[in-house]
Amino acid sequence: MSETTGQELSAFDKIEKVKEILDRNGRQSSRLIPILQEVQEVYRYLPKEIMNYVAQALGIPAGRVYGVATFYAHFALEPKGKYLIRLCDGTACHVRGSEPILAELRKKLGLTAQHPTSDDLMFTIETVSCLGACGLAPVVVINDEVHGQMTPDKALKLIDDVLQAEKA
């Protein structure tokens, strides 16, 4: 089965998109970070083969690309789920009870800190140090949608909603 179904880009489209990103950035090694950011939007992580492709295209050692990719927390080297759940564990969210929410979410999805992504690549749970939305603490962000004043129950409901939407 090819990966052409759904809104997901096919792997053909993705690698062509990488070429387009490289071209748009003038294949300048000084543009490495923005290039990697855009590539990560395409793949939701940075596959090592694609990092190697970027290195070849920019004429820099693959090790330098890998060095940059591993330096910044923003870059993911493992595939992330279709739904990236980021739970804020900054000071405000922490004191307002982010920990029980994290525990419940992980329990529901069978995930841990070491194993943050579900095997079907549907969900990834990450904690972040502050989202700058302390007034809404505790905060859960699913992809780009911000959900404030969370409780474990409310958070679980969000997951159920996602699952419902996926079924439909």
Partner 1 sequence: MTDKKVLFIDGKEVEIENERNILELCRKAGIDIPTFCYQPELSVFGACRLCLVEIEGRGIQSSCSTPPEAGLKIKTNTEEIRNLRRITMELLLASHPQDCLKCGKSTKCKLQAIARKVGVKDIPYKMSVKDLPVDKSSYSLIRDPAKCILCGNCVRMCSEIQGVGAVNFTNRGSRSTVMTAFGKDMFTTECVNCGQCAAVCPTGALQIHSEIDETMKDINNPEKITVVQMAPAVRVAIAEEFGLPAGIDSTKKIVAALKKIGVDYVYDTNFTADMTIVEEATEFVQRLQNGGTFPMFTSCCPAWIKYAETYYPSILKNISSCRSPQGMFGAVIRKAMPDFTGKDNKDIVSISIMPCTAKKFEARRDQFKHDGKPEIDHVLTTQELAEMLKSSGINLAEIEDHELDMPLGMYTGAGVIFGVTGGVMEAVLRFAAEKVGGIKDAIEFKNVRGFEGIREAEVELNGRTFKFAVVHGLANAGKVAQSVIDGTCKYDLIEVMACPMGCVGGAGQPVSEGCVKKKLRAEGLYKADEKCALRKSQENTAVYDIYDKYFEGGPATHEAHENLHTTYVARPKAQMEMDLNRVNDGAVTVELNLSGENMRNGVEDLMGKVLGKIRENGLQDTVKVGVTFGHTGEDPMVTVAGKAVEADAEKVLAAIKAAKK
Of 10-18, 29-37, 97-105, 127-135, the segment contacting partner 1 by CB under 8 A is 10-18
Residue number, 56 or 91, with CB nearest to partner 1: 56
Q: State in angstroms the smallest separation of the CB of 7 from partner 1.
A: 17
Q: Interface residues for partner 1 in 126-165 (CB under 8 A)?
A: none
Q: State in angstroms the smallest separation of the CB of 133 from partner 1.
A: 26
- Tokens 């194993």 identify what position? 115
Q: State in angstroms the smallest separation of the CB of 72 from partner 1.
A: 8
In terms of phi and psi (left: phi > 0; alpha: psi -120 to 50; beta: otherwise), the region of 131 is: alpha
Residue 24 within binding range of partner 1, rule CB under 8 A? no
Residue 106 tokens read as 């992980």
Question: Which residues lie below 8 Å from residue 86, measured CB to CB, with a gap of 6+?
Answer: 126, 127, 128, 131, 140, 141, 142
Residue 71 tokens read as 């330096």
| Alpha carbons 97 and 78: distance in angstroms, whole number | 29
Cross-strand pairs, 126: 86
Residue 1 within binding range of partner 1, rule CB under 8 A? yes
Q: Which residues bind partner 1 (CB under 8 A)?
A: 1-4, 10-12, 15-16, 19, 47-53, 55-57, 60-67, 70-72
